[in-house]
Structure 1
Amino acid sequence: MRVDLITLYLLAIGTLLASSALTLWERRSYPRRRRELGVLAAGYATLALGCAAAAIRHSVPGLPGVVGSALANLIIVGGYLLNLQGVALLNGRRYGRISLGIVSMLALAWAIAGKRGEAVMWAYLSAIPISVVCGLTARELLGTRDSKWKQSRNIAVAVTGGHALFYAFRVTILPWLAASFGPHLLAIIGQATMYEGVLYSVILPMTLLRLARDEAHADLRRESQTDYLTGLGNRRWFFEEGARAIRENNAFPPVSCLALDLDHFKAINDRFGHEAGDEVLKSFAKILRSVLGRDVILARIGGEEFAALLPGHESARAKDLAEAVVRRFAQTVTRTADGVEIEATVSIGMARFGTDENTLAKVLAAADRALYGAKSRGGNRLEIARAATTRANAASAPHQLPADHAPTARECGR
């Protein structure tokens, strides 16, 4: 069944307007991307307006054909530029000056071409800015490195990149083909352009909406796995991420685990209030991130209880890091919004994966037992689980910081 060009124009206009309306509707559900989705919706609507102008460019009484063609081409390119801007905003980038330059150069080209050059401009040269803008859009999508967008991003890159190549073909190959096979080929390519445009107007908006949904889903998942106060992982995330890290580190056996608990934390809350206690927890979380680094799995697994998994860390290295946490926190003064200064300390138990502690739950339990040993000896210290220490050929006695470096155990707030 053959479809005439006007019908294809109407189909493209309808799909673009539907995509614009759907994008506007969906933006309410994704407040983080309201601006980007709004720009994309405006781009689809502008493309629809440009297609409508192209369909009637020779039918408006009193309007010269070249003016109608130039306006239609400029509006269409404006729609593509809005799509580029919407995608670029995902990466925090803008194309304001480039967009202005492309529109200005295109308007100048139409002015120079005039009525004599209308056919060449419409059939061939008008495709240049569309190809360039779609190529830039594909590049921006490739620059979106977030793994949660990978599938949607790849589809969008294929759509925009294919669109750019199609219009590049119209500029470079089509003139030669038209000269070889006759001008009737232009009518065929015109219909092919509309078919391809309809696919673009459906697939790209749906893909970009999928990208927004993927991001929103990932954000919700991250929030469900994050402790709202400290920004560290929560208990569930610790066990899920820890199990994954253990599987991935089978070829690198050294995996150490730390159980950490702030000393006398209830006394801090009772004396200074829960808001002050929250500030101490946040201060301690910052120290953990600073001392232990990025390759460590950190979580707040209880009120003042924390856990850390150190894949690829030998016992000696893990012990040094844990000692550094004890020293650093003991030397830190937490200042509340009311100007109150609070000093606090932490006790740490350390265990290493081995024959007996062969699961995350078991090694954390071993570290927890060592932690309570440190607590019973006054806190403000690191203690290493005996079994893990024996297998690591370390001293089996409880480990305490050297006397010349360890801070004196203090009451909170003294």
Structure 2
Amino acid sequence: MQLDFPTLGAVFMLNTAIFTALLFFAWALNRQVKALAWWGLAFLLILVGMGLMVVAQGAPTLATLLVANSLLIAAYSVLYGGCRAFNARPISLPSLGAGVVVWWVAFPFISDSSATRLVLTSVLSAGYALMSAWELWRHARHRLASHVAAIILLLGLVGFNALRGALGFSLAQSLWIAGPVPPGSGAMAIGIATFMPTIAFVFLSMAKEQREDHYKRAALIDPLTRIPNRRAFLEGASALMSQQRETPTSCLLFDLDNFKQINDPYGHKVGDHVLEIFGSILSDHVPGGVYGRLGGEEFSAIVCLDEDDAGRLAEHIRHSFESIAKIVRGQRVDVTVSVGCATGATSTVKDLLRQADTALYRAKAQGRNVVVSASAR
């Protein structure tokens, strides 16, 4: 098959322009995903850099080569910046600009050697592509399915730049010069022309998947205390107990004492802060277990402990809360918590909650601010 490289180059430019617009448009619709703006800028830099080579019509001046390659190296660095932004990690502008600085410093010494220029741009581009892949693999906040595709494509960019540096492959030569080209350039040209839409699609998919993951997680978090809500607690508790099989598992059921007497005289801001305090104490004391706010002033935790150890843990939580929640927002509230504890090896979550609720009722009847086990009589 005879390839029309100028036409292939035009397709490359058109695709790049379209996906540049799509990335910026997606960012305009969802400003919270700042990575989309970074990736859109990377595509724009590629578009402008390649545009300069098109205008040069296969015979670029040294000034054109200097600027065009600066833009292409900057595109790779901005791509890396987008990956860091996607992971909500700080972006160091000096590290992004280092590649362009190296290119400008080295250019006067290598301007007469096209092979050396190509090797340097390939090394700098491959370096940023590798850093981008590492960023998504090592520092992802939440592992997404589209992460794998993005990492593979970025590693493909590393390989592409390694090959073009070794084989002397030039995009400008292969896409816009009608004449002899190095062996293998046709396959590389087709690959890079189809690569841009693919990686843009993956970036858009990553942004969509991240937002969906955010909303899914938000649906499982209590907005006030920032700990799991009732739905998340029940799902986590069922999963944990199915894993434990016949190992003793305990349910701790907490209810803040006389909470209505806090809200009425002191206001809901004080009451809300009391709930936040208890949520924080619970998360500190049960880092490896399942816990959550069931609603109102009621909380629960499922822990892989026998009855005695679970009772001691409940007592630690009760004491910590009593010690900390004395002065809230300048008001003396002296709030306490009652705890019901139930343990079983083959019980369901529903069974343990029911038994713990019975124990909690007895704790209230005994004067509150105590821990009562379901087995106690």
TM-score by length of 1: 0.82
Q: Flag structure 2 segments of 5+ consecutive residues without an equivalent.
A: 170-178
Q: Which has the bigger relative contact order, CA under 8 A and spacing at least 6?
A: 2
Distance 1:307 1:245, change over 3 A: same
Question: Once the two structures are superposed, what CA deviation does each residue of 1:357-381 show, in whole Å capped at 9, x if it has no partner?
Answer: x211111111001100111111110
CA distance in 2, matches of 1:196, 1:363: 59
Among 285, 300, 307, the alignment partner of 2:300 is: 307
Is 1:242 the counterpart of 2:240? The answer is no
Residue in structure 2 matched with residue 37 of structure 1 by the alignment: 36
CA distance in 2, matches of 1:146, 1:152: 13
CA distance in 1, matches of 2:77, 2:335: 56
Residue in structure 2 matched with residue 346 of structure 1 by the alignment: 337
Residue 301 of structure 1 aligns to a residue whose secondary structure is strand
Residue in structure 1 matched with residue 91 of structure 2 by the alignment: 94
1:298–1:308 CA contact under 8 A, matched in 2: yes
Question: Once the two structures are superposed, what CA deviation does each residue of 1:247-292 show, in whole Å capped at 9, x if it has no partner?
Answer: 2223x712110111111112222222222211211122122222x2
Distance 1:69 1:58, change over 3 A: farther
Residue in structure 1 matched with residue 26 of structure 2 by the alignment: 26
What stretches of structure 1 move > 4 A for 4+ residues in a row? 121-125
Question: Once the two structures are superposed, what CA deviation does each residue of 1:54-91 show, in whole Å capped at 9, x if it has no partner?
Answer: 2232468xxx6333233322222221221111112234
Residue in structure 2 matched with residue 410 of structure 1 by the alignment: none
- CA deviation after TM superposition for structure 1 residue 131, in Å: 1.8
2:110–2:117 CA contact under 8 A, matched in 1: no
Q: What is the total number of aligned residue pairs between the two structures?
A: 367
Is 1:286 the counterpart of 2:280? The answer is yes
Question: Once the two structures are superposed, what CA deviation does each residue of 1:324-362 show, in whole Å capped at 9, x if it has no partner?
Answer: 11222222334444x21211111111111245xx21111
- CA deviation after TM superposition for structure 1 residue 173, in Å: 5.0
Distance 1:88 1:330, change over 3 A: closer
1:234–1:301 CA contact under 8 A, matched in 2: yes
Letter in 1 for 2:336: T
Letter in 2 for 1:272: Y
Is 1:374 the counterpart of 2:373? The answer is no
CA distance in 1, matches of 2:84, 2:181: 33
2:53–2:64 CA contact under 8 A, matched in 1: yes
1:346–1:379 CA contact under 8 A, matched in 2: yes
Among 206, 209, 216, the alignment partner of 1:221 is: 216
Is 1:13 the counterpart of 2:5? The answer is no
CA distance in 1, matches of 2:266, 2:98: 61
Pairing 1:259-270 to 2, within 5 Å after superposition: 259-270=253-264
| Alignment RMSD | 2.3
Distance 1:46 1:353, change over 3 A: same
Residue in structure 1 matched with residue 323 of structure 2 by the alignment: 331
CA distance in 2, matches of 1:108, 1:361: 70
Question: Once the two structures are superposed, what CA deviation does each residue of 1:202-242 show, in whole Å capped at 9, x if it has no partner?
Answer: 12222122222222111111111111111121111111111
Residue in structure 1 matched with residue 174 of structure 2 by the alignment: none
Distance 1:371 1:12, change over 3 A: same
Distance 1:261 1:86, change over 3 A: same
1:110–1:121 CA contact under 8 A, matched in 2: no
Distance 1:209 1:318, change over 3 A: same
1:134–1:163 CA contact under 8 A, matched in 2: yes
Is 1:253 the counterpart of 2:250? The answer is no
Letter in 2 for 1:302: G
Distance 1:66 1:148, change over 3 A: same
CA distance in 2, matches of 1:2, 1:185: 12
Identical amino acids, percent of aligned pairs: 25
TM-score by length of 2: 0.90
